[in-house]
Chains A and B, each alone.
Chain A
Amino acid sequence: MTRADAIVLALAAALLGGLYAHYWRAGPPARIAEIRRGGELVQRVSLDHEARIRVAGPRGTSVLETRAGAIRFLSSPCPQQFCVHSGWLHRGGEATACLPNHLSVQVLGGGQAFDAMVF
């Protein structure tokens, strides 16, 4: 191992430390999300692979999408589309809902950044 090697290793360690400190401030990435209808648990989904989930509610079918540790409403049969506009949920505790369709999504694990969402 040369001196230059040692410097590279030291820089690598510093880089890793910095990355964890910066991007894991709110905890490690979330693992699963819970989808509920009218308060009842409909499905638990793992967030570490790509998937499309169709959930039926009183107003029709909402479609959710998971990818790379996050989940979002892709489409929903509601007039205001607040759920879709919420975008990707990835922090532990982050949640959104399609109130007209009685559906809610919440991300679990990953350090519980939030106990509740206000909107």
Chain B
Amino acid sequence: MPFRLPRLALPLVLGALLSACDQAPQARTEQMLAFGTLVDITLVGVSDKVADEAFADARRDLEFMHEAWHPWKPGPMGRTNQLLQTGGWFSANPSVMPLIAPARRLERTSRGLFNPTLGKLEALWGFHTDERPEDRPPPAPEAIAALVKQAPSMEDIQVKGIRMRGTNPAVQLDVGGFAKGIAIDRVIARFRELGIENAIVNAGGDLRAIGRHGERPWRIGIRNPRGEGVIAAVEVSGDESVFTSGDYERYFIYKGKRYHHILDPRTGYPARGAVSVTVIHPDATTADAAATALFVAGPDQWESIARSMGVKDVMLVDESGKVYMTPSMARRVELLEDPKPPVVISGGGGGT
């Protein structure tokens, strides 16, 4: 050997190499039963004290919002719906009031495909119970048509200061289409107040992520709506929500036909055409409403509705397994299915 390495060199070199390995940041994860579902919260780079407070606040706030906005169980939303029926002015409930403006805006930008006033229709279909009996048939077409004709919408709710009234007896607020989004936005806002900058709040498969996972972005897996496995993977960072609407979330099967709970306000029947829609958008409220609205829009109309709602990253899977994406979504999503499904890239509001 031309020269002798000092004996310390080897362990030093090994140490240096090992330290270059991915040092996982300190992450705290907790799963809780809240908002009627399982909620996973991951916090990164946060002291135990702050993490414990954050988890406790999240649990409490989610439970509060769940009870306040429940579409059919007794509570503030139930009382509001009763008062809306009367047609007279009443003092708006402070828990319900903050939902009205975003609901109105989202109904407008989605051209009515997102409609949070379909409580009567949802109840007619039997989705306003915890357990829908297997042998209960779908509602009669006449009953559905009658409700659709009455055309309930957010336009039928008037607000003046802190007073509210309903001008259409068919209106019953059911905010299931975006309640989770609003709840998650609230939780993230609270986390920000606590100084938390890197977190994921995942409520039953819909999430908002802020910051990053240490040195790398958050890695999100999107489940296959029909078969097994993971259909796609995507990285999110900064401030992004990933929401999916699917026909597999709540449904019943009657005489071999599947009826799911995402109703098309125009027909009164479960929306057809799409099997799942995934949306990525900064705030969870819009992401949630958009996932619902674009599901209703289906493979034919989703592009124009995505544009009018200002949503740039959309992935829609139709009944044949074909995948539709905006160019922006196609750039960032990695399809994991083998063999790859047919993909159509179109739409997308603005940007190359």
A contacts, CB < 8 Å to B: 36, 38-39, 79-80, 82, 85-88, 91, 93-94, 96-97, 99, 102, 104, 112-119
Contact = CB atoms under 8 A, between A and B. Distances in A.
Interface of B: 24, 30-33, 37-40, 42, 200, 202, 204-207, 209, 213, 218-223, 225-230, 233, 242-244, 246, 248-252, 278
Nearest to B246: A119
Given A39-B31, A39-B32, A117-B202, 12 more contacts: A80-B248, A85-B227, A86-B223, A87-B229, A88-B228, A88-B229, A91-B230, A104-B40, A114-B220, A116-B221, A117-B220, A119-B223
Nearest to A79: B252
B31 A104 contact: yes
B280 to A, nearest CB: 10
B223 A117 contact: yes
A28 to B, nearest CB: 13
Chain A CB within 10 A, most for which of B40, B213, B225: B40
Contacts of B220: 114-118
Contacts of B225: 119
The secondary structure that dominates the A interface is loop
Contacts of B250: 80
B37 A96 contact: no
Given A36-B31, A38-B33, A39-B30, A119 B222 contact: yes
B219 A114 contact: yes
20 contacts: A36-B31, A38-B33, A39-B31, A82-B248, A82-B249, A86-B223, A86-B228, A88-B228, A91-B230, A93-B221, A99-B37, A112-B24, A112-B219, A115-B213, A116-B40, A116-B218, A116-B220, A117-B202, A117-B220, A118-B278
A31 to B, nearest CB: 15
A99 B31 CA distance: 12
Given A39-B33, A39-B38, A80-B250, A118 B206 contact: yes
